[in-house]
Chains A and B, each alone.
Chain A
Amino acid sequence: MNGFQFIAASAGSEGGSLFPLHLFGMFLGFLGLIFFLGTAVGMMRFPDFYTRMHAAGKGDTLSTMLMLTGFALVTMEDFSLGSWLLFVKIMGVVLFIFLSTPTSSHALMRAAFEDDEMPMTEEDLKKSRKRGKKK
């Protein structure tokens, strides 16, 4: 009995119990949740469109990829053909998001830049501070 068969047997016999692959999948899922927390806080607090886009573009891509990979591992119950097909499909979604999210954020950034949306400079910050003091 080699290692692969052992993992398959331990997965099939103990339904619902933890084994290393599920544990690793759950770890990846929670890691993705932490990255999405970073995205949400960044979109709340950053002062400028481009900085918000920085938070959204990076954190969104990485957290989505991590969460989907984690779920692909968690739903892997036995190593049959159907579950392999499911795994490959979910990894296909991961690949598509890896390609598409940076592309769409690049297109959006370009549209914003050509629409005269200016990035925030230090002078703008000074102005806003002065305005705050006057009020």
Chain B
Amino acid sequence: MTEYFPLIMGVALFILMIPVLYRIWVGPTGFDRILGANVIGTKTAVLLVIIGAVYDRVDMFVDFAIAYALLNFVSAIVVSRYLNRTISLKEMEAREKKAKA
């Protein structure tokens, strides 16, 4: 069973990615889509190690996995910074006035 273990894990991981892909497809907000992309990116780092185990070249694919995890983290941080709209104090007060009126 040891030789089939990476293949089974890879196929199961791929099938379980489909619901997350559905969330990317119909996400009500943009944040849902980014969250789903982040989850799939993290799982792709695992999938790279699994592909390495299938081809018996784990020593090469582990480096890809490290680089992919790093890029995924950086992309998540960059997108959340891009969407981060910090409200100034004046704008917040104006909104409160609007809500009261």
Residues of A with Cβ closer than 8 Å to B? 16-18, 22, 26, 29, 33, 36-37, 39-41, 43-44, 49, 52-53, 56, 60, 64, 67-68, 71, 74-75, 82, 85-86, 89-90, 92-93, 96-97, 100-101, 103-105, 107-108, 110-112, 114-115, 117
Q: Is the interface of A mostly helix, strand, loop or mixed?
A: helix
Supplied contacts A39-B39, A67-B46, A110-B80, 5 more A-B pairs, CB within 8 Å: A37-B16, A43-B19, A100-B72, A107-B80, A110-B84
Is the Cβ of B83 less than 8 Å from the Cβ of A104? Answer: no
Given contacts A44-B23, A56-B38, A111-B81, contact A104 B76 (CB under 8 A): yes
Given contacts A36-B13, A115-B85, contact A29 B2 (CB under 8 A): no
Tally the A-B contacts, defined by beta carbons under 8 Å: 146
Tell me, in angstroms, the Cα distance from A29 to B85 when the chains sit together: 40
Name the residue in A44, A82, A101 with the highest tally of chain B Cβ atoms < 10 Å from its Cβ.
Answer: A101
The 6 closest A-B pairs by CB, nearest first: A104-B76, A100-B73, A111-B80, A40-B19, A111-B84, A107-B80
Is the Cβ of B16 less than 8 Å from the Cβ of A60? Answer: no
Is the Cβ of A18 less than 8 Å from the Cβ of B66? Answer: no
Given contacts A49-B32, A101-B42, A104-B38, contact A71 B50 (CB under 8 A): yes
Specify the chain B residue showing the minimal Cβ separation from A75.
B58
B7 located at the interface, meaning its Cβ lies under 8 Å from any Cβ of chain A in the complex: no
